[in-house]
């Protein structure tokens, strides 16, 4: 409870300072709206924000799911064959030096202005943290334990099923929690470039109308979506280990 109260108290202090600064310095609403104005914008345009939030969440979930599957399989292949790891891993690191904003226009040109470019951007932002964390966790599995299973007659796929994957899932979920936070940002960037719905599209539209309070309201929705996905990932991790423990007991 104490750990939860500290960040909550910091948030309250930040909002109070923000409100006082806007009031004392009389900042124009089209530059910096007050927290009260943002809350009013949330309430006034709740239906529009909800619809656009669902669009962004849909894009984020599809991209995150595809990134999870690709990262899981790729990490296993890289761990099984070191030649693949040595050839592919440096390319992964180099890929992170490319700004996502540069790839956005190219993806729109290649795949059109539909949902596909947004999903690809989500995959690109989510794939790297998952595969890096999972592959490193697989590489840290005890060699002695692997040799023990091999002396018992376990085949390669059995070593992965019994030992490597269960131990490596801690790294997988660690990367997934990071990716779950980043994936919404990937969808937003895609919507900034070309979209007809979504929170990114909503931000551009209200920004062009100098409705900055609604821009902050959309940012608030982005934060809520990111925290919600992070929380769901944490629950999935707890559920996985609970099932793993029950399976071992049975």
Q: Domain for residue 104, yes or no?
A: yes
Give the C-alpha distances (Å, rounded to integers) separating 227 from 167, 172, 180, 233, 234.
Answer: 26, 18, 8, 10, 11
Based on the structure, what is the number of domains in the chain?
1
Name the pTM for this structure: 0.86
Report pLDDT digits (tens) over 14-29. 888 888 888 888 878 7
Q: Domain for residue 19, yes or no?
A: no
Q: Domain for residue 66, yes or no?
A: yes
Confidence of residue 250 (pLDDT cuts 50, 70, 90): low
Q: Domain for residue 14, yes or no?
A: no
Q: Domain for residue 137, yes or no?
A: yes
Neighbouring CB atoms inside 10 A of 26's CB total 6
What end-to-end distance do the CA atoms of the chain give, in Å? Answer: 35
pLDDT at 240 over 80: yes
Print the domain residue range for 134: 37-249
Tokens encoding 170:
């801690």
Tokens encoding 160:
């992965």
Q: Residue 116 is part of a domain; what is its CATH number?
A: 1.10.3720.10
Of 113, 122, 99, which Cα lies nearest the Cα of 184?
A: 122
Q: Domain for residue 29, yes or no?
A: no
Q: Domain for residue 7, yes or no?
A: no
Report pLDDT digits (tens) over 45-80. 889 899 999 999 999 999 999 999 999 999 999 988
Q: Domain for residue 21, yes or no?
A: no
């Amino acid at each position: 409870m104490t750990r939860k109260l500290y960040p909550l108290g910091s948030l309250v202090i930040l909002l109070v300072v923000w409100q006082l600064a806007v009031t004392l310095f009389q900042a124009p609403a089209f530059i910096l709206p007050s927290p009260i104005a943002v809350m009013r914008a949330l309430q006034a345009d709740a239906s529009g924000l909800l619809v656009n939030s669902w669009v962004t969440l849909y894009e984020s979930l599809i991209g995150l799911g595809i990134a999870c599957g690709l990262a899981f399989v790729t990490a296993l292949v890289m761990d099984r064959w070191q030649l693949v790891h040595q050839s592919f891993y440096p390319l992964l690191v180099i890929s992170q030096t490319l700004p996502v904003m540069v790839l956005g226009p190219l993806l729109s040109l290649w795949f059109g202005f539909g949902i596909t470019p947004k999903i690809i951007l989500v995959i690109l932002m989510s794939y790297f943290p998952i595969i890096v964390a999972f592959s490193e966790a697989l590489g840290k599995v005890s060699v002695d334990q692997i040799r023990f299973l091999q002396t018992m007659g376990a085949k390669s796929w059995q070593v992965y099923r019994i030992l490597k994957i269960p131990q490596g899932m801690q790294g997988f979920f660690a990367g997934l929690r990071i990716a779950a936070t980043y994936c919404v940002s990937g969808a937003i960037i895609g919507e900034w470039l070309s979209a007809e719905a979504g929170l990114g599209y909503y931000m551009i539209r209200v920004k062009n109308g100098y409705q900055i309070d609604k821009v902050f309201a959309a940012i608030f929705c982005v934060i809520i979506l990111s925290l919600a996905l992070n929380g769901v990932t944490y629950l999935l991790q707890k559920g996985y280990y609970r099932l793993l423990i029950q399976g071992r007991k049975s």
